[in-house]
């Protein structure tokens, strides 16, 4: 049975596990730690948020090099190195009590830690193994993101509330060792390296090539890609989208508390987001086989924007079902992010140099994602409410969808 299974599906399995681990440590856990650490260490919310934002920012600089390594050597060495460094950093985060140490550890974690097994790395690998089935493969691979948002907040909130935030960080370190290190051993660069073709087909001519994107036969290299208007529209469009999505995910639990709901309700909301994110994967995978991803982007982030609006409205009227409905719609649109964005990049520029092309885009997107949560945290510290920040999130999502 397994001898007949196309190896690309093992790459998809690796993407699921890495995406789950990445989201768990880089985003889903942040809201869980916010108030326990701020209360225990006497920090401001923006100071705490600065750590994860620094990690995102430093990842921007390493991504340029990471993309080239990915094209030349594949994801295996990157994932192993990133998992090893991340595990050490998470243990150090559980030990420290100094803001400067905290920020420095996050700097290292972002630069050569979890950025090396991020969606950028593993989904670029998936892109290289699939063309016709790319929509389904990316949707399935990105389900790890959904699972990280669904499972991690609830379990980690229980761990932190029962044993403390330090134990929470130690638990995440163990998670990385168990999940990500083994993945590094079976990830591969391209099907052609092993005498295979994308999608597991035997021959292009036997399966027809007229429906394949022209970029598969004439792929762009990095210098050619950056000269096109499509490149920059994708860069800035997905930067606004990623920034808006990250703000909600990072501030979801404190937002829920500030809106008058219990901390556990916020954790449930994140898990509802994860459930919606996960349940949307078949929908986006099915739709991508039939419609141009560009049109689906508009649909996805209109849905997410409506969700954030419902979250804002739920507080003044103290309606938990409306809050959870908002999380659901936000998550349903969020679920299309990875399959839609990765598919568009490969569709426009081909898969041969997708790592180096995606790598050069990361600084703009990642820096936008790093700055936005800090601004939302700063707005909260100044206004004592999350409402202005979340209104800006709605604007960012809609603007990004229009640009793409």
Percent of the chain with pLDDT over 70: 95
pLDDT digits (tens, 9 = 90+) for 175-205: 999 999 999 999 999 998 888 888 887 665 5
Reported as a single tens digit per residue, the pLDDT across 10-22 is 999 999 999 999 9
Q: What is the DSSP secondary structure assignment for residue 260, as one 8-state letter?
A: T
The pLDDT score that the predictor gives to residue 214 is 53
What's phi and psi for 313, nearest 5 deg? -70, -30
Residue 115 pLDDT greater than 70, yes or no: yes
Largest CA distance in the chain: 66
Query: What is the model's pLDDT at position 394?
Result: 94
Res. 95: pLDDT tops 80: yes
Q: Is 72 in contact with 176 (CB distance < 8 Å)?
A: no
Report all structural domains of the chain as residue ranges with CATH numbers, in order of start.
7-191+220-403 (1.20.1250.20)
Calculate mean pLDDT across residues 227-247: 91
- Report the candidate in 172, 67, 174, 62 with the shortest Cα–Cα distance to residue 122: 67
Q: What is the pLDDT of residue 2?
A: 44
Residue 99 C-alpha from the chain's centroid: 26
Per DSSP, helices labelled H in 164-211 are: 165-184, 204-207
Name the nearest CA neighbour of 243 among 323, 328, 334. Answer: 334
Of the ranges 71-75, 178-182, 267-271, 289-293, the best mean pLDDT one: 178-182
Q: Is the four-CA dihedral 98, 103, 108, 113 of positive or negative sign?
A: positive
pLDDT at residue 268 tops 90: no
Ranges assigned E (strand) in 115-170? none
The residue among 20 and 214 whose pLDDT is bigger is: 20
Distance CA 131, CA 293 (A): 14
- Distance from C-alpha of 399 to C-alpha of 238, rounded to nearest angstrom: 10
Measuring CA to CA, how many Å separate 81 from each of 6, 93, 117, 287, 333?
Answer: 27, 18, 9, 36, 32
Q: What is the mean pLDDT of residues 220-234?
A: 90
Report yes or no on whether pTM surpasses 0.75. Answer: yes
Position 291 confidence tier, pLDDT thresholds 50, 70, 90: confident
How many residues are given for the chain?
A: 404
């Amino acid at each position: 049975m397994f001898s007949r299974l196309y190896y690309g599906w093992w790459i998809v399995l690796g993407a699921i596990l890495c995406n789950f681990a990445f989201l768990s440590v880089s985003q889903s856990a942040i809201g869980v730690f916010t108030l326990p650490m701020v209360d225990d260490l006497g920090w401001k919310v923006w100071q705490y948020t600065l750590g994860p934002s620094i990690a995102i920012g430093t990842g921007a600089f390493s991504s340029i090099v990471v993309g080239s390594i990915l094209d030349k050597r594949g994801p295996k060495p990157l994932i192993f190195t990133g998992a090893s460094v991340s595990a050490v950093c998470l243990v150090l985060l559980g030990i420290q009590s100094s803001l400067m140490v905290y920020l420095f550890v996050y700097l290292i974690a972002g630069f050569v830690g979890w950025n090396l097994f991020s969606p950028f790395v593993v989904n670029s690998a998936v892109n290289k193994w699939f063309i016709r089935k790319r929509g389904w493969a990316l949707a399935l691979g990105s389900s790890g993101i959904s699972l990280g948002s669904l499972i991690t907040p609830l379990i980690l909130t229980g761990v932190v509330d029962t044993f403390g935030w330090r134990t929470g960080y130690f638990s995440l370190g163990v998670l990385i060792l168990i999940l990500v290190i083994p993945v590094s051993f079976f990830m591969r660069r391209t099907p052609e390296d092993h005498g295979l073709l994308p999608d597991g087909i035997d021959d292009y001519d036997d399966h027809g090539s007229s429906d394949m994107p022209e970029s598969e036969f004439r792929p762009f290299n990095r210098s050619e890609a950056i000269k096109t208007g499509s490149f920059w529209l994708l860069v800035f469009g997905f930067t606004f989208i990623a920034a808006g999505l990250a703000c909600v995910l990072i501030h979801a639990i404190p937002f829920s508390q500030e809106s008058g709901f219990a901390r556990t309700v916020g954790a449930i909301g994140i898990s509802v987001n994860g459930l919606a994110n996960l349940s949307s994967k078949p929908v986006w995978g099915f739709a991508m086989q039939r419609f141009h991803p560009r049109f689906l982007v508009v649909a996805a982030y209109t849905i997410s924007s409506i969700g954030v609006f419902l979250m804002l409205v739920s507080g003044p009227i103290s309606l938990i079902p409306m809050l959870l409905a908002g999380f659901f719609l936000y998550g349903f649109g969020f679920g299309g992010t990875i399959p839609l964005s990765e598919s568009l990049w490969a569709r426009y520029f081909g898969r041969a140099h997708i790592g180096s092309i995606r790598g050069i885009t990361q600084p703009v997107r990642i820096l936008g994602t790093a700055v936005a949560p800090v601004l939302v945290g700063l707005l909260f510290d100044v206004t004592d409410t999350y409402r202005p920040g979340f209104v800006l999130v709605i604007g960012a999502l809609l603007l990004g969808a229009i640009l793409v």
